[in-house]
Structure 1
Amino acid sequence: MGDFNKLEPIIAAHKFINKCFPSCDGALLAGSVVRGEATETSDLDIIVFDKKIVSSYRESIIDFDWHIEVFVHNLISYQDFFESDYKRARPSLPRMVSEGLVIKDNGVVDSIKIQAEQLLAKGPEKWSIETITTKRYFITDTLDDFIGCNERAEGIFIANALAELVSEFVLRTNNRWIGASKWIIRSLKQYDVKFTEQFIVAFDVFYKNGDKTEIIKLVDDVLYPYGGRFFNGFSLGKK
């Protein structure tokens, strides 16, 4: 981690729970430190389960020389977050619970972990034909903006939007979970490493020298099995 005076993550997590949530029913340490992907700026993601908590909350704290993100739930509230994460296809809390190392357990953690693992294994809700058609339109519209853009600054941000739309389309049409920020690439890699490499190269080439060719080809390849680009005849909300 680059800071030799810092407590080991698991030790710091135990101390934090003993100090701040000594009577909680369960606690997990999750995030990059658990996955072996920690960097100098990594924090501790700690999930707390406490039946006495009235409503769930999230808090950011610096303690024991660590930046700590703590997610506090009672023994029911986490289920609403599981359901919300399922509906948006971004299983943030289920992932954290599934991968989390047990810091404390008064007999509640195992069942919660099983629920998280079952939800992750189930995968997100399958997109309807109507949803796929709508997503094709918005990708096509953004791609047209990208192709026609002659302003470098605008092109960068259109490319960013296109990357999110295309990654979402690829993952959801293949019944995979999506992500935001760094989890976009992580989710793509979990789906298909080779495609992810093509995806990264296409956007990297544009960002480096402004060449749009690879991005355009990538988008067309992604849309082709679903009918290709779609603009003419699209309607939304018409009665």
Structure 2
Amino acid sequence: MHNLTSYQQFFEDDCRRARPSLPTMVSEGIILKDDGVVECIKKEAKKLLVKGPEEWSLETINTKRYFITDALEDFIGCSNRGEEIFIANTLAELASEFVLRTNRKWMGASKWTVRSLRKYDEEFTKQLIEAFDRFYRTGSKTAVIQLVDHILQPYGGRLFDGFSLGKSNLE
């Protein structure tokens, strides 16, 4: 339950994390009773959803590239099936987040990740699902590696050498 002001903080928090749960629920919800206030909140939610999440900074993009590269290198070098599965899961989440956020699209979790990806690009989503499904079924990593490299390529590709967090260039 929210009152006429409490929902605003939840809208802000959801938008900041790029997972607009409450704005989506409000925008898609059916109004049972309204004295003219709920319709305004519903319009506010729809406006937020159309606007999309904040654009990532170059620093954020590079940080995410680094973490994707780290997971990809672990994935490539791993020969333990159990570890490969968990690394692949992490890689799928990181790659999905990267694609959606670099394109200023909302994210989701669990089933909402796939729904968010499909809403953004049906063909890309199909490729992503097929690449990871092939890995899970056969152990072949090639399609996953190629897809992740394709995702990173417009932003400079893999990022490892020379990257550091929390240090200035003078250090």
Sort the TM-score into its range (normalised by shorter chain): over 0.9
Pick one of 31, 34, 43 that aligns with 1:114.
43
- Could you give the per-residue CA deviations for residues 61-104 of structure 1, whole angstroms, max 9, x where no partner exists? xxxxxxxxxxx101100000000011101000000111111222
Q: Look up the match of 1:75.
A: 4
1:93 aligned residue (10, 22, 26): 22
| Corresponding residue for residue 204 of structure 1 | 133
User: Among residues 105, 117, 120, which one is paired with 1:188 in the alignment?
Assistant: 117
Structure 1 segment 110-189 matched on structure 2, within 5 A: 110-189=39-118
Residue type of the alignment partner of 1:124:
P
TM-score normalised by the chain length of structure 1: 0.69
The structural deviation recorded for 1:238 is 1.9
Instruction: Detail structure 1 runs of 4+ shifted over 3 Å in the superposition.
Output: none
Deviations 1:100-153 (A, max 9, x none): 112222332101101100100111000011110110000000000111111111
Unaligned 5+ runs, structure 2: none
Q: How far 1:227 moved relative to its partner?
A: 0.4
Mapped partners of 2:31, 2:135: distance in 1? 44
Q: Whose helix proportion is higher, 1 or 2? A: 2
Name which one, 1 or 2, has greater alpha-carbon Rg.
1
Distance 1:175 1:83 in 2: 16
Q: Distance in 2 between matches of 1:214 and 1:101?
A: 43
| Superposed CA RMSD | 0.8
Residue identity in the other structure for 1:160: N
Distance in 1 (alpha carbons) for counterparts of 2:32 and 2:86: 42
Distance 1:84 1:185 in 2: 22
C-alpha distance in 2 between matches for 1:151 and 1:219 = 21
1:73 is paired with a residue whose SS is: coil
Count of residue pairs the alignment pairs up = 168
Identity of aligned residues (%): 68
Between 1 and 2, higher relative CO (CA 8 Å, sep ≥ 6) is seen in: 2
What is the alpha-carbon distance in structure 2 between the residues aligned to residue 103 and residue 161 of structure 1?
41
